[in-house]
Amino acid sequence: MVIFSVYVVNKAGGLIYQYDNYVPRTEVEKTFSHPLDLVLKHHDDKVVVSFGQRDGIKVGHALLSINGVDVLGKNTADGKDILEYLKDPANYPVSIRFGRARLSSNEKLMLASMFHSLFAIGSQLSPEVGSSGIEMLETDVFKLHCFQTLTGIKFIVLADPRQSGIDTLLKKIYEIYSDFALKNPFYSLEMPIRCELFDQNLKSALEVAEKAGNFGAGS
Amino acid sequence: MTVHNLYIFDRNGSCLFYNEWNRKKQAGISKDEEFKLMYGMLFSIRSFVSKMSPQDMKDGFLSFQTSKYRLHYYETASGLMFVMNTDLSVSNARDTLQHIYSNLYVELIVKNPLCPSSQTLDSELFSSRLDSFIRSLPYYSPRAA
């Protein structure tokens, strides 16, 4: 049972706090000969696999390093375009590491404001009167839980689908936020939270929740 | 226990079919606008979920719930999207949506040469079969509210 990450979004949709509690490693390194049997393409300043899943390398995985040297976006460490580099048979055999691309802080800001609007649309398209926005969003590998306070701040927790006790955790995070962020004289409202006590208390609350909530087999 | 409404979208985002059973609140915009908003929301959720996910996904987005209703989502490999809103007591409607696709949509729309599958579905047989199927679901029971 794991809790993946925590997001706090202010009432304007800005991300004011983000913490990754657990990031599963999904990286595969493999040696390839010419020609490459994967189809790669540029996407969002990265080189990603667009076709040809094999040996744990999945479509959507980004190219992370070549011959053990980390790449810089869509260029190799010495500034050459990766796709051009991989076209040249002289560079083979080559060892390439693929994995899920980590979210950059810009992407996290974007996703937070995206959820802010999805939350509002979810409430507008409701077939019932007086519905809130999205409180829980489920996929096959994670569940997103969202708690909106009366003042409009959203606390978002990403956890394993089988993790229980998230409602209590969300209330607890709200409590920690009120105690350690709002009561901090150096904290200005709606701005990113940079309080050490908030961090510490949040981390221990996550640990407690991970130990307590445990439903179903498999972990 | 109730089914509110059902949307079917094709992969280009046009709404092929819509029907409602127990819907208490309208969105306050025209149906056309509502379909666009719904498709836009689903499209964004798909990309949101694929970026947000800490691991590789198989099925991707399954459902979301608010304080009043739950939206169930099923997407076929060909890009058709089946969306059904129910109340919160229905925890999983994946089989229902799969049944609508394989036993109603494929049988009555795809196998009907007179039914072009790229525009609004106007097959009366499909509508009536779907309606009776939804009404026969164990969790379909319109409460007199």
Residues A120 and A13 in one domain: yes
Residues A18 and A117 in one domain: yes
- Tens of pLDDT, residue by residue, chain B (145 residues): 789 999 999 999 999 999 999 899 998 899 999 999 999 999 999 999 999 999 999 999 999 999 999 999 999 999 999 999 999 998 889 999 999 999 999 999 999 888 876 778 888 899 999 999 999 988 887 654 4
Domain that holds residue B51: 3-136
Q: Residue A217: inside a domain, yes or no? A: no
- Residue A127 near residue B75, CB atoms below 8 Å: no
Choose the final residue of a domain: A83, A99, A115.
A99
- Residue B60 near residue A140, CB atoms below 8 Å: yes
Record: contact B66-A121, CB cut-off 8 A: no
- The C-alpha R_g of chain B, in whole angstroms, comes to 15
The pTM of the full predicted model, rounded to 2 decimals, is: 0.90
Q: Residue B129: inside a domain, yes or no? A: yes
What CATH number did the domain enclosing A175 receive? 3.30.450.70
CB contacts, 8 Å: B4 with chain A: 127-128
What CATH number did the domain enclosing B92 receive? 3.30.450.70
Record: contact B44-A23, CB cut-off 8 A: no
When divided into structural domains, chain A yields a total of 2
CB contacts, 8 Å: B7 with chain A: none
Q: Report the residue from B25, B40, B49 with minimal CB separation from A126.
A: B25
Q: Residue A46: inside a domain, yes or no? A: yes
Residues A46 and A145 in one domain: no
Residues A119 and A75 in one domain: no
Residues A60 and A85 in one domain: yes
When divided into structural domains, chain B yields a total of 1
Is A191 an interface residue toward B (CB < 8 Å)? no
Choose the final residue of a domain: A48, A78, A99.
A99
Q: Residue A197: inside a domain, yes or no? A: yes
Q: Residue B141: inside a domain, yes or no? A: no
- Tens of pLDDT, residue by residue, chain A (219 residues): 799 999 999 999 999 999 999 988 888 999 999 888 899 999 888 999 999 988 889 999 999 999 999 998 889 988 899 999 999 999 989 999 999 988 999 999 999 999 999 999 999 999 999 999 999 999 999 999 999 999 999 999 999 999 988 999 999 999 999 999 888 888 888 899 999 999 999 999 999 998 876 554 333
Contacts of A197 (CB under 8 A, 6+ apart): A180, A184
Choose the final residue of a domain: A61, A83, A99.
A99
Record: contact B64-A138, CB cut-off 8 A: yes
Q: Residue B59: inside a domain, yes or no? A: yes
Residues A116 and A170 in one domain: yes
Q: Residue A34: inside a domain, yes or no? A: yes
∠A22-A57-A3 over CA atoms, to 5°? Answer: 15
CB contacts, 8 Å: B28 with chain A: 124
Q: Residue B142: inside a domain, yes or no? A: no
Q: Residue B21: inside a domain, yes or no? A: yes
Domain that holds residue A58: 27-99
Tokens of A195: 């309080």
Which residues are bridge partners to B5 per DSSP?
Answer: B20, B85
> Shortest CA distance to B120 belongs to which of B12, B14, B13, B7?
B14
DSSP label of A202: H
- Residue A86 near residue A94, CB atoms below 8 Å: yes
What ipTM did this prediction achieve?
0.90
Nearest CA in chain B to A141: B57
